[in-house]
Structure 1
Amino acid sequence: MPPEVRADQSAPTDQSVLVEQGLLAGKLVLITGAAQGIGRETALLAAAQGADLILSDRSDLVQETETEAKDIADARGRSLTSATVLGDLETWEGAEHVVSEGTKKLRLPDVCINAVGGTIWAKPYELYEPEKIEAEIRRSLFPTMWMCRAILPEMKSRGTGTIVNVSSIATRGINRVPYSAAKGGVNALTASLAMEAAEAGVRIVATAPGGTEAPERRIPRGPGAQTEEEQGWFREVVEQTTESSLFKRYGTLPEQAWPIVFLASDAASYINGSVLPIGGGDQG
């Protein structure tokens, strides 16, 4: 016989609501990096799947995402409860502010989706200046580490919650070694924190997106490829990413957002500590 399941670790008793009202119906979801890209797409899908939202970014463009999310909810006959919080998640103070201010405006989120990150430069590792290595780590590891540190104690105290980290299959890739190392850290963070938090009823999981087609960024991560040599290094990244995919193409934003929303939902209640590659067969 299986061991008795504690109340705070039990599976959801009625999952029909996931079909009838949406995968995230009744949940308050905090999404970082929500002004553009995967974060924005996930926010809009979460609204369509019944979630209320706390949207965070360091750009006030996140307010446009909130407006779009409200329109999506309205079109489905639902009034969206939402808030936006600006913050620089490369710092502990920024993450602490986002969690405390979001909780103050609404309540403690049921789900935290950490979508801040992304390659700033592309070049062979020996050509990275030390300050650029540090910048890549600050950009793609620390926002997730700080957000987990800021929200986990409250989730554990409440006895329930889900954290979904957005990593990358670039943990095995060329010309982005500092970024690869940062996302490798996100993977390790996810696995280790899941072991620590499970007994308290908190799930921690991650997706690892591959190359993703998206509109041109309205908030650039960096100066972009300036010289012909830099453009060549970036093309190598694109070619390697495409060739590593069994489909030989980039994914789409919806193809990245749907797995995140699934993992955030009670439909994934028995998935914990896992990193799900979303790279068209590239396992990262």
Structure 2
Amino acid sequence: MVEGKAAVVTGGGQGIGLAIRRLLAQHGANVVLVDVDPARAEATAEELSAEVSTTVVGRGCEVTDEEAVNVAVDDAVTRFGGLDIWVNNAGITRDASMRKMSVADFEAVMNVHLTGSWLGVRAAAEIMREAESGSIVNMSSLSGKSGNPGQTKYSAAKAGMVGLTKAAAKELAHRGVRVNAVQPGLIRTAMTEAMPTDVFAAREADIPMKRAGTPEEVAGAVLFLASDLASYITGAVVEVGGGRLM
């Protein structure tokens, strides 16, 4: 589906990001895995390299740093001769009620999700415009559609990524560059499995499919949007939530 393509996945050292880069590599893409933790990026890239026949590279990158993002793009182009896929997956949480939330935590979450994604879209688009092809996938969340108590900053950031996706899609469509978003719901990751058991069970009960999703199921939606199977899809928001908010 993406054989021979060059991809960059941000925040790809664990969880959903790890599943995304694994699936892209398994389907033939060469992948640069960037993470704020260089050691984790390099270790996971080395691990995956033993599983696939494509090239997987890990490097450190702070997605809120304009120069660091530009260097990550340049690295992919230098290694692979171009850039076909960019996945904005990097994210953080600082959950708290508004009364207890600090401005510093609010700004940190907004910067990683929104500023980081905007920098990634802009840097990747510079290469893709010239090639007149490419796919950018932004990782939003169903929290950005429905909102969650204790997550005003996270929900706002994830909603903002939908606006970024649609505006960028309109700017880049005439140059053959597609921009789409994925909105995961309740997914089994280290973060969600740290939730109290009763809270997790209650949220699962609200899902029509009566189960949480897996990182691999989210990665499948990203793979589809990144591939030529989605060649006439741009500005779309794909929900991967078991029907939770339909």
So what's the TM-score if we normalise by structure 2? 0.90
Q: Look up the match of 2:237.
A: 275
Return the alpha-carbon distance in structure 1 between the equivalents of residues 164 and 149 of structure 2.
23
Q: Look up the match of 1:82.
A: 56
Q: Look up the match of 2:104.
A: 131
Q: Look up the match of 1:34.
A: 12
Which letter does structure 2 place at the counterpart of 1:206?
A
Displacement after TM superposition at 1:200 (Å):
0.4
Displacement after TM superposition at 1:30 (Å):
1.0
**3-state SS, counterpart of residue 18 of structure 2:** helix
**Taking structure 1 as reference, are residues 138 and 193 closer, same or farther at Cα in structure 2, changes over 3 Å only?**
same
Where does structure 1 lack aligned partners over 5 or more consecutive residues?
1-22, 74-78, 218-224, 226-230
Return the alpha-carbon distance in structure 2 between the equivalents of residues 247 and 124 of structure 1.
29
Displacement after TM superposition at 1:186 (Å):
0.6
**Taking structure 1 as reference, are residues 44 and 202 closer, same or farther at Cα in structure 2, changes over 3 Å only?**
same
**3-state SS, counterpart of residue 51 of structure 2:** helix
Return the alpha-carbon distance in structure 2 between the equivalents of residues 52 and 176 of structure 1.
35
Return the alpha-carbon distance in structure 1 between the equivalents of residues 122 and 191 of structure 2.
32
Would the aligned equivalents of 1:207 and 1:275 in 2 still touch at CA under 8 Å? yes
Return the alpha-carbon distance in structure 2 between the equivalents of residues 85 and 198 of structure 1.
30
Would the aligned equivalents of 2:21 and 2:31 in 1 still touch at CA under 8 Å? yes
How is 1:208-223 mapped onto 2 (pairs within 5 angstroms)? 208-215=183-190
**3-state SS, counterpart of residue 58 of structure 2:** strand
Displacement after TM superposition at 1:243 (Å):
4.7
Q: Look up the match of 2:137.
A: 164
Residue identity (%): 31
Return the alpha-carbon distance in structure 2 between the equivalents of residues 129 and 108 of structure 1.
41
Q: Look up the match of 1:116.
A: 90
Return the alpha-carbon distance in structure 1 between the equivalents of residues 170 and 65 of structure 2.
25
Would the aligned equivalents of 2:114 and 2:161 in 1 still touch at CA under 8 Å? yes
Where does structure 2 lack aligned partners over 5 or more consecutive residues?
none
- Per-residue CA deviations over 1:34-55 (Å, capped at 9, x if unaligned) read 1111111111111111111111
Which of 185-194 and 140-149 deviates more?
Answer: 140-149
- Per-residue CA deviations over 1:48-100 (Å, capped at 9, x if unaligned) read 11111111112121122222322222xxxxx3223322110022222122112
Let me know the Cα RMSD of the aligned residues. 2.3
Structure 1 position 71 matched with structure 2 position 47: no
Q: Look up the match of 1:52.
A: 30
Would the aligned equivalents of 1:83 and 1:105 in 2 still touch at CA under 8 Å? no
One of 51, 75, 97 as aligned partner of 2:71: 97
Q: Paired residues, what number?
A: 242
Q: Look up the match of 1:43.
A: 21
So what's the TM-score if we normalise by structure 1? 0.78
Would the aligned equivalents of 2:30 and 2:80 in 1 still touch at CA under 8 Å? no
